[in-house]
Structure 1
Amino acid sequence: MEQTDVDFEVLSLGIVVCIIAFSLLSKAISRTILTLPILFVALGLLCAPVTPALGSPEDLLGTARLVAEITLVLVLFTDASAVRFKQLRSTFTIPLRMLVIGMPATIVLGTVVVLFINPEAGVAMALLTAALLTPTDAALGQTVVSSPEVPRHLSQSINVESGLNDGLALPFVLFGAILASQSAAGTDGLVMMAVTQIVLGPLVGIAVGWSAARALDYVQQRDWIVESAQGVVFLGTAFVSYLGSELVGGNGFIAAFVAGATFGNFYRHNIHFITEFMEGAGQLLTMTAFLIFGALMLPDALGHMNWPTVAVAVAFLTFVRMLPIFLSLAGTGLAMRDKLFLGWFGPRGLASILFTLIMMEEFDLPHADELLACVSLTVGLSVLLHGVSATPLAKYIGSFKETTQSDQENDAVPY
C-alpha cells in the first residue's frame, strides 16, 4: 500500500472521529464561545500538512469550490425558509437600508481603504477586493440568527441581508474583475449581465419556490408522499432554483434565497424536515466546507500574511462594515446598541471565498494568489472573532429585548 493511501485513510479516520466527537458534545459546546466553524477550521489547519499528498492544488481548489457552492445554496435556502413575509412588512426597512445604502457605501469606503493601505493595488483591484469582502455569510451568522435571545427584528434583518447581499454584490465583483484583468473583453455587456443576474434570479426563485410548495401541499393532502421523501423535495427545490437561474443567466444564490423564502411562506404544512436535514446532513456539509477552508486556503493566507493584509482584514471586519451600516440606519428608531450589533454581525465566509475562486478561474487577475490570501485571512479572522462574540453579544442584546405580540406569533410558527 502506498504512503499516500495510508495518509488518506488515517486522515479520513481522524476527521470522522472528530465529527462524531463534536456531535456527541454539541449541546455542551453550544454553551461555550466555541462554534462549529471555529472548531472545524482549526481541525483543517491541523490537517493542512498532509493535504498536498491528496492531489494537485488545482484539483483541491476545485473541490473546495464545489463544496462551498453546495453548502452556500443549502444554507441560503434553509435560512430563507424561516423568513416570514408577514413580519417583514413591518421590519423590512432595516434590511432594505442595509442593502441599498449600507452595502454600496461599504464597497466605496472599502475601495478607499484598500487604496490607502496598498496604493500599488490600483483602483480596479481595490474595488474587486472591497466587493469580495462585502458579502456576509449566513452560515457564520447562524448562531445569532437562530438565537432566541436576539430580538426577531434584528435576527431577521441579519438573515435577509446575508441572503441577498451576495447576489447584489456580484455586479461590483464582476466590474472589478473585468477592470483588473489583463484582458477587458466583455466589458460592453457588463451592465446587461448585472441586470440579468439581479432580475432573473428572484424571478426563477419565486417560480420554483411557489411551484414546489404547491406541489408538496397537493400530494401531502392526498397522502401520496412518505415523510422521509419531503427532505428530498427540499433538496431538489434548492438546487433546481440555483441551477435553473444559472441556466437562464440569473444569479443562482439570489434564486436559492428567494426560493427558500417563497417556499417557507406558501407551504401550508409543517416544514420541520428542513430543520431536521440541516441539523444532520446539512451540518455535516458545513463541517466539511470549513474543514476544507482551514486545510487548503487558510495556511496560504497565513503564509502571505503581512501588515497590509492584516490591516485590510481588520478594517473590513470593523469600521469599513460598521460605519456605513450605522449611518444607513439613521432615522429608523433603532437604539445605538442595535445599530452597532447589526454592523458588527456581518461575518465574512463562504460567499467571499467562492466568489474569489470563481473570479480567479474566469479572469486573468494580477496577484490572484495574494488576493485569495487576503480574502482567506479576512474569513479566518471573521470565523474567530464573530464566533467567540456571538453568544455573549446575543445574550447582551437579548437583555434589552421587549417581547411583542408579533414576536410571540412568529416564535409559534413551526420550523
Structure 2
Amino acid sequence: MIAILVLLTLLFLWTVVSDRLARWSITAPIAFAAAGILLSGLDHPVVPLDVDTHTFQRAIELVLAVMLFTDATEARDYARLRGPVGEGRLLGIALPASVALATLAGALVFPDRSWWLLAVAALVVMPMDLAPVLMILRDERMPLRVRAALNIEGGFNDGLISPLFVFCVANLVSAEGDTFGDLLLNALQGAVYAAIVGSVLGYLASRVVRRALESGWAKPASLRLAGLALPFLTYAASVLVEGNGFVAAFVAGLWYANTVLVIGSDSLDLVQDVSHLLALAAWYAFGALAAEAFADGVALQVFAYALLVLTVARFVPVVASLTGTVFSRAERAAIGWLGPRGVTSIVFAVLAYVQLPEEDADFVVNMTSATVLLSVILHGVTAEPVARWFARHPQQPGPARETD
C-alpha cells in the first residue's frame, strides 16, 4: 500500500510542476525513474519493491498489454499523405535486421554468453518507444511523414516482438527434456490461441459498442469505459486458455480501431490516460532496477553494447530499408536516429528479470538499464536540434508512394 501511496503522491506533485520542469528538459519518465532510484533503489530503500512476486509480474504484464492495445487502436491524422510511410519496410525488413545486428553486437562484446541470452537481450533493447521524447510527434517542424513513420513503427514493433521474446525466454528456462520443437510448438500454440481470443473479443466488442451507439443505449462518453475494460478483459481471457496475453490485447486493439473511427478518437482518452499512468509506474520500477544493476559499477562493455544498439544496429537497417523511397536522405537519417527506448524495453526487462536465472536476469537488466539511460540522454538532447534543422531545411511534401 505504501508503494501506491508514494506513486500517487509523485503523480500529484509532478502534475503541478510539469510545465516548469519541462523547460529544463525533465520529462515524466526521467522524474519517475529518478524517484525509483532514490526511494526504492538504495541499500536501505524507503519504499521496498519486491519484483520477484507473482503479483508484480502480472502487474507489469498488464502494463504491456494495455500499451499494446492503445498502440493498435491509436489513429492519427496521416491521411493526407495518401500512401504508406515506410511502415512495411521498417517492420518487415529493418526490425528483424536490427534484432539480428543487436544479437551479433552482443556476441562481439560478450563472446562468452549464449546465443539465446543474446537474442533475449536484443529483443528487449531494440523496440523503440516515443514516450521519452513524445514531443516529436507534436512538433510541426518535423516532416509529417517522418512523424507518421516513427509513430506507426513505435506502435507495432513491440507487438511483433512480444511472441519472439516469450519464445526465446522459454528456451533459456525450459525444463529438462523439452526439445526445441516442443518450445516452438508451445509458442505457436500460445500465439494462435491469443489471436483467436483477441479477434473474437475485439470483433464482438466492436459490434456491441457500435450497436449501443446506433441504438442510443449509450453515449460516446460512457463508452470510454468499454475501451478501458477491453484490454484487461482480453489479456485475462487469453491467459486462462494459456494464450499470449500481449498478442491477444494487440489483436483486439486492431479490431477495435475501426470502431474508434466511428465513435471518435476521444473514446480512447480514458484507456490512454491509464496506459500513461501504468507507464510511469514502470519507469519507477526501472529506476529501482537500474540502481541495483549499477550498484557495483558499470562495465565498459555494457555501455559499448548500448551505444552499438542505439546507433549501428538501428541506423543502418532503417536507412538501408528506406533507400529508394520518397524519403529524402535527411528524413531517412532522422528516422534511423530517432529511435528512443522506453517503457517497452523496461517491461520486457522486468519480465526477463523475474523469469530468468539470476545471472542471466542481471545481464539483461544491465543491458537494458544502460541502453534506456543512454537513449534518454542522447535522444532527449538531440531531438530539438533535429527539429530546428528541418525547420531551416523544409523537405518536399510529396506523398510516400513506395512499395512496401
Q: The TM-score by the shorter chain falls in which range?
A: 0.7 to 0.9
8 A contact 1:348–1:378 mirrored in 2: yes
How large is the RMSD of aligned CA atoms in angstroms? 3.5
Residue 241 (structure 1) aligns with:
234
Residue 14 (structure 2) aligns with:
22
Pair 111,35 (structure 1): closer, same or farther in 2 beyond 3 Å? same
Distance 1:322 1:314 in 2: 11
Q: CA deviation at 1:247?
A: 4.1
8 A contact 1:113–1:312 mirrored in 2: yes
8 A contact 1:167–1:198 mirrored in 2: no
- Percent identity, aligned pairs only, is 27
Q: CA deviation at 1:68?
A: 3.3
Q: Say yes or no: does 1:159 pair with 2:134.
A: no
Pair 391,208 (structure 1): closer, same or farther in 2 beyond 3 Å? farther
Q: Say yes or no: does 1:339 pair with 2:363.
A: no
Distance 1:244 1:87 in 2: 34
Residue 278 (structure 1) aligns with:
272
Q: So what's the TM-score if we normalise by structure 2?
A: 0.82
Pair 276,361 (structure 1): closer, same or farther in 2 beyond 3 Å? closer
Which protein is richer in helix relative to its size? 1
Distance 1:217 1:31 in 2: 43
Pair 390,162 (structure 1): closer, same or farther in 2 beyond 3 Å? same
Q: CA deviation at 1:53?
A: 5.8
Residue 263 (structure 2) aligns with:
269
Distance 1:354 1:81 in 2: 20
Name the SS of the counterpart of 1:272 in structure 2. helix
Distance 1:88 1:263 in 2: 23
Distance 2:71 2:220 in 1: 21
Distance 1:202 1:31 in 2: 44
Distance 1:221 1:51 in 2: 57
Q: CA deviation at 1:309?
A: 0.8
Distance 2:241 2:163 in 1: 17
Residue 411 (structure 1) aligns with:
none
Q: Which residue of 314, 318, 326 maps to 2:307?
A: 314
Q: What amino acid is the match of 2:72?
A: A
Distance 1:42 1:174 in 2: 29
Q: Say yes or no: does 1:210 pair with 2:212.
A: no
Q: So what's the TM-score if we normalise by structure 1?
A: 0.80
Distance 1:213 1:182 in 2: 38
8 A contact 1:138–1:163 mirrored in 2: no
Residue 188 (structure 1) aligns with:
181
Instruction: Write out per-residue CA displacement over residues 114-138 of structure 1, whole angstroms, 9 at most, x where no aligned residue.
Output: 1111212243332332222222235
Instruction: Write out per-residue CA displacement over residues 252-276 of structure 1, whole angstroms, 9 at most, x where no aligned residue.
Output: 3343334334323234122313225
Pair 167,344 (structure 1): closer, same or farther in 2 beyond 3 Å? same
Residue 135 (structure 2) aligns with:
143
Distance 2:164 2:80 in 1: 27
Residue 288 (structure 1) aligns with:
281
Q: How does 1:2-401 map to 2 (within 5 A)?
A: 8=2, 12=5, 16-30=8-22, 33-47=25-39, 48-49=41-42, 52=45, 54-55=47-48, 57-59=50-52, 65-83=57-75, 87=79, 91-92=83-84, 94-137=86-129, 139-140=131-132, 142-174=134-166, 176-181=168-173, 185-199=178-192, 201-225=194-218, 229-267=222-260, 268-279=262-273, 281-294=274-287, 296-304=288-296, 305-364=298-357, 366-394=359-387, 396-397=389-390, 400=394
Q: CA deviation at 1:19?
A: 2.4
Q: Which one is further off, 347-356 or 87-96?
A: 87-96
Distance 1:142 1:293 in 2: 19
Pair 196,383 (structure 1): closer, same or farther in 2 beyond 3 Å? farther
Q: What amino acid is the match of 1:312?
A: Y
Q: CA deviation at 1:233?
A: 0.5
Instruction: Write out per-residue CA displacement over residues 48-71 of structure 1, whole angstroms, 9 at most, x where no aligned residue.
Output: 337646457445x65654443333
Distance 1:64 1:341 in 2: 37
Distance 2:241 2:140 in 1: 39
Name the SS of the counterpart of 1:217 in structure 2. helix
Q: What amino acid is the match of 2:36?
A: G
Q: CA deviation at 1:299?
A: 0.2
Instruction: Write out per-residue CA displacement over residues 368-408 of structure 1, whole angstroms, 9 at most, x where no aligned residue.
Output: 223222222222222333334345434544663666799xx
Q: CA deviation at 1:99?
A: 1.6
8 A contact 2:83–2:399 mirrored in 1: no
Distance 2:21 2:116 in 1: 43
Pair 142,16 (structure 1): closer, same or farther in 2 beyond 3 Å? same
Q: CA deviation at 1:178?
A: 4.8
Distance 1:116 1:390 in 2: 30
Name the SS of the counterpart of 1:303 in structure 2. coil
* Alignment: residue pair count: 395
Q: CA deviation at 1:46?
A: 2.1
Residue 410 (structure 1) aligns with:
none
Distance 1:179 1:327 in 2: 31
